[in-house]
Amino acid sequence: MDRTLMEDRYVDTVLGRIRLRVGGSGPAMLFWPSLLMDGMLWAGQVDHFAARFRVVLVDPPGHGASSPLTKPFTFDQCAAVIVEILDALGLERTHLIGNSWGGMIGGTFAALYPDRVGISVLMNATASPAGLRHRLEYPLLARSAQLLRGIRGPLVKPVIDAFLGPTARRTKPEVVAAVNDSVRRVAIDSGRHAVLSVVPHRPDQRELFGRIRTPVLVVAGIEDATFPVAETRVMAEAIPGARFVVLEGAAHLAALECPAEVNALIDEFLLAQS
């Protein structure tokens, strides 16, 4: 599908006005990206799925053209945002595809709203609380962003290093450029609230994820330095019946780094549930 045919929609939610890009027809498939990325993280999925699904790309709270964040949020509120999006679009259910932040709250949504989800594909995510490194480094990064307001260069490299592995940095300059551009567009205050809510202050969701009864595919990137394979495997093990896959050559943004491989995994998982 031509991405220019995606329609912009706006939905008022508990976390402000959310911008969506909606296109295609068929069963709904909602995509929620990582921190510091907007809905176009999923451009490679639009091209593949919009001929068969109603594709909904979310600019998450405080990102892209969604309303700025003015305070921290909870994962339960993020899951409620998904419900409000579905209600506004007249959708009873959706398949949910999430990366990092999207993967974490995709699990929250599946646990809390099982009647409104089909399959869930949770990529580059965790169900565990923040370890010492995330509790120390990310508040410092958020504070530095405030102090260096308007001076983005020094802040971009740590994000590139956290999000992309050696394969993408060495062989995929278009991916590096996309992450660079996305990070530079995030408003400092919104980014700070989101980073603190999703990384150092995130909840331990392992017990909650044990309540999930819908089909879940968990995907890890072998080069992911933010949520290494072992941590994402713990998330998969917390979800009854979840399938776990490790992608070679992928780091923290698998859908952007390896779109064809991710699309094939989603198709295969959908077929297995039909």
pLDDT for res 238: 98
User: What is the per-residue pLDDT across 70-112, written as a single tens digit (0 to 9) for each?
Assistant: 999 999 999 999 999 999 999 999 999 999 999 999 999 999 9
pLDDT for res 124: 98
pLDDT for res 5: 81
What pTM did the predictor assign?
0.92
Q: Are 22 and 29 in contact (CB under 8 A)?
A: no
pLDDT for res 74: 97
pLDDT for res 141: 55
Q: Which domains does the chain have, with CATH numbers?
A: 3-273 (3.40.50.1820)
Task: Identify the CA nearest to 101 among candidates 14, 190, 10, 36.
Answer: 36
pLDDT for res 33: 98
Task: Identify the CA nearest to 119 among candidates 53, 38, 36, 48.
Answer: 53
CA distance 93 to 142: 35
Q: Are 255 and 99 in contact (CB under 8 A)?
A: yes
| Stretches in the chain below the pLDDT threshold 70 | 1-4, 132-155
Q: 3-class secondary structure for the chain?
A: CCHHHCEEEEEEECCEEEEEEEECCCCEEEEECCCCCCHHHHHHHHHHHCCCCEEEEECCCCCCCCCCCCCCCCHHHHHHHHHHHHHHHCCCCEEEEEECHHHHHHHHHHHHCHHHEEEEEEECCCCCCCCHHHHHHHHHHHHHHHHCCCCCHHHHHHHHHHHCCHHHHHHCHHHHHHHHHHHHHCCHHHHHHHHHHHCCCCCCCHHHHCCCCCCEEEEEECCCCCCCHHHHHHHHHHCCCCEEEEECCCCCCHHHHCHHHHHHHHHHHHHHHC
